[in-house]
Chain A
Amino acid sequence: MSPTTPPPALELRSVDMHYGFVRALDAIDFTVNPGEVVGLLGDNGAGKSTLLKVVSGAHRPTAGTLLVRGEERSFRAPSDATEAGIQMVYQDLALVDAQDIATNLNIGREILRKGPLGWLGFVDQKAQRKRSESELDRLGVRTAAMTRPVEMLSGGQRQVVALARSATRVSGEHTGVLLLDEPTAALGYEQTQQVQDLIRRMADHGIAIVLVTHNLPLANEVCDRMVVLNRGRKVADIATSQTENDHLVGWITGARASMFA
């Protein structure tokens, strides 16, 4: 690798994952670069979820290597992956409904007040709101007032907050990887547009994004590249601009021969 190109944000080299005799993943090579949105497509049981579990540290692969920013890593638990800057954004939206947006964005990394009140654990809510506002501004997100409880947001706004929350957590000193599993599953048209825009903008900030979806129009809109899995094997890895729906459907269903066969 030449020194000018940065290493991929995340790289898998011939990763195998066996459950007993079932080969859930079979020699998968997979990369995602900083600022790139990669769609991970495939039918049910193709291995998408298994791949996400391996990457997010929930499962350990049977064989193969995993590199984060060019360094070999092995995750024993999801917290290891989080520490390496890989965040999974779950479908069920891990937000605390009764709390406001600022609290949700800041929980786990609160700003304490200065002086004796800080020693007692008092939170500087003004500073937290300000930080959250500037973080959302950087992502170009304007959902609602910071003091609004999450339960009073629409589904799309909630998903935007959940995504922004993950994004702010992986983009600390280095930009990390976000794993999205059907981020628009429960959303209407306009809300899906909001989330799409946000995904693109997060990528513009250098975050690497893996997007698992069954939604081909969504994948076509936001992904730079598509990776198709079929029965645990990678059958296609192609830039979005160089493919079309018919081919993708063929790879997903297995009707079209693998690119790598």
Chain B
Amino acid sequence: MVMTIPTQSDGAVAPAKDGSTRPPAPDRGARDPAGIRGLIFLRDRGIILLWVLLIVAFSVWAKPYFGTFDNAKLIAGAAALTAIFAAGVAVGIISGVLDLSIPGVAALAGVVCGQLLVHGQPVWLGLLCGLAIGVLAGLLNGIISLRGFNPIIVTIGMLSITTAAASIVAEGYSIPGLTQLTFMGTRRYDGFPAPVWIAGALFVVLTVFLTRTRDGIRLMAVGGNPEAVRRSGIHSDRYKVLGFVISAMCSALGGLVTAAVVTEANPEASPGIIFTALTAVALAGVSLAGGRGSLPRVLVGALILTTISNGLTIKGIDPYWGIGVTGVLLLGSLGLEKWIAGTVSRRLVSSAQASVHTGTR
């Protein structure tokens, strides 16, 4: 929903009290022109529109197998893991860092949890230690980056360290038979597998955190302009570290859920997950420059990826095509976004009014 704010509070600076020189700003009508509203709607909700279009197209094309509730559950289940990792990547980027250590942290968290379970420790302890690995890796990433090193290089280093650590902990082999974890892996609740509920809860919590709480809002602000935040008397460094920690915790959670789904903890980090997650994040229009982005849109981005591969699989088309289609969509969305941003700002400047709330964030 795009909100248009009535213009009674609009206009330039009101005439000075001393009745000085300038006439009051003319009333410019209550709303933006329909064209601009449409463009901004497309920018903020375009990805949802795209998803709906995809679903409609596949429902017709892959009739009658695609458009069923059972297939929806399949898509949701397949999207859940991607979505969890995408949440980590998105929070990192929004707070101004691209965290590349995600696959390693995920592998290490899964393996540590697996080893504990194999050695007869309770499930809660295994999960807690797995998440603690995430917090620790995030803290290290953040604290090292604050020393003035490029976060990309730092997190690549952390990727190597955590991958090695995972192999060492697992002694080189995957840890099978983690059946204690099926409650958060393959078991279904109300028809949907557990990872769907976990991903859903994660997105609700993170969205509320980023848009409604003091620390979340500051975190986004730090991603946008750390200098402005620092000048407001806030320790912006703390929030940078917080971004790393949340990102790494999402990775650890993703690693644990992965281990639960396959009832096996694999020490091999799969760098592919970061690119899939990054694709979902980029589809959602999260700017790599930081400071902006909306998690609900990231969730839709992850859903689009699995919708495409699901639909093509039902039609018996090679999955390679799905990857290619995703790439085309991604580049297309970039082009569209640039065009919209350019057109909107040009029109806003020419009409000097912008009573539009971008909504989501």
Contacts and interface: CB of A to CB of B under 8 A. Distances in A.
Contacts of A100: 357
Nearest to B355: A145
A152 B12 contact: no
Interface string A125-151: 100000001000000111111111100
Interface in B212-235: 212-218, 220-221, 224-225, 227-229, 231-234
B361 interface: yes
Interface stretch (B15-23, B152-160, B256-264): B15-23
A82 interface: yes
A194 B13 contact: yes
Interface string A158-197: 0010000000000000000000000000000010011001
Given A108-B233, A145-B357, A160 B220 contact: no
Contacts of A95: 225, 228
Contacts of B229: 96, 107-108
B60 to A, nearest CB: 38
B118 interface: no
B140 to A, nearest CB: 25
B349 A154 contact: yes
Nearest to B226: A96
A205 B66 CA distance: 66
A98 B16 contact: no
A120 B231 contact: no
B213 A201 contact: no
A94 B231 contact: yes
Nearest to B358: A149
A33 interface: no
Interface string B312-356: 000000000000000000000000000000000000110010111
B225 A96 contact: yes
Contact of B232 (A98, A108, A125, A201): A108
Nearest to B344: A152
A84 to B, nearest CB: 13
Contacts of B349: 154
A91 interface: no
Nearest to B223: A98
Which of A96, A109, A197, A200 has its CB near the most chain B CB atoms (within 10 A)? A96
Interface residues of A, number: 47
Interface in B182-229: 212-218, 220-221, 224-225, 227-229
Interface string B5-37: 100011111101100111001000000000000
Contacts of B218: 107
A194 B220 CA distance: 30
A153 B354 contact: yes
A70 interface: no
B296 to A, nearest CB: 16
A154 B5 CA distance: 17
Nearest to A195: B13
A181 B215 CA distance: 31
Contact of B16 (A148, A153, A200): A200
A102 to B, nearest CB: 11
A108 B22 CA distance: 34
Contacts of B358: 149
Contacts of A142: 9-14, 25
Interface of A: 79, 82, 90, 94-100, 103-104, 107-110, 112, 120-123, 125, 133, 140-149, 152-154, 156-157, 160, 190, 193-194, 197-198, 200-201, 204
Given A99-B221, A145-B10, 4 more contacts: A98-B224, A133-B9, A140-B16, A153-B354
19 contacts: A94-B231, A95-B228, A96-B228, A99-B220, A99-B221, A100-B357, A104-B228, A107-B234, A123-B214, A142-B11, A142-B12, A144-B355, A148-B354, A152-B356, A153-B354, A156-B12, A193-B21, A194-B13, A197-B16
